[in-house]
Amino acid sequence: MQRLLIILGVLLLLVGLLWTWLGKLPFGRLPGDISVQRDNFHLYIPITSMLIVSAVISLLLWFWRR
């Protein structure tokens, strides 16, 4: 448990340091992400982005358990 918390802390630190560059990635604007804008309403469903993030996390966890 301690090891997991340390790894999560380091990952959060890295994401915080790289935030300006990570904001330039096309996540959230991929084909398959649904965005509906009306007068006073905005609906955003990042289907493709969620699938990519899920696949990356699954691969990382699979490699970590091996």
pLDDT 10s digit of each residue in the chain, 66 long? 888 899 889 989 998 888 888 778 777 778 889 999 999 999 999 999 899 989 999 998 898 888
Residue matched to tokens 């630190």? 13
10 contact partners, CB below 8 Å, separation of at least 6: none
pLDDT of residue 2: 87
What is the model's pLDDT at position 59?
94
User: Where are the domains positioned within the chain?
Assistant: 2-65
Bridge partners (DSSP) of residue 44 are 35
The encoded tokens of residue 32 equal 């398959």
Query: Cα(47)–Cα(27) distance, rounded to whole angstroms?
Result: 11
pLDDT at 4: 84
Provide the pLDDT for residue 64: 84
Check residue 13 and give its pLDDT: 93
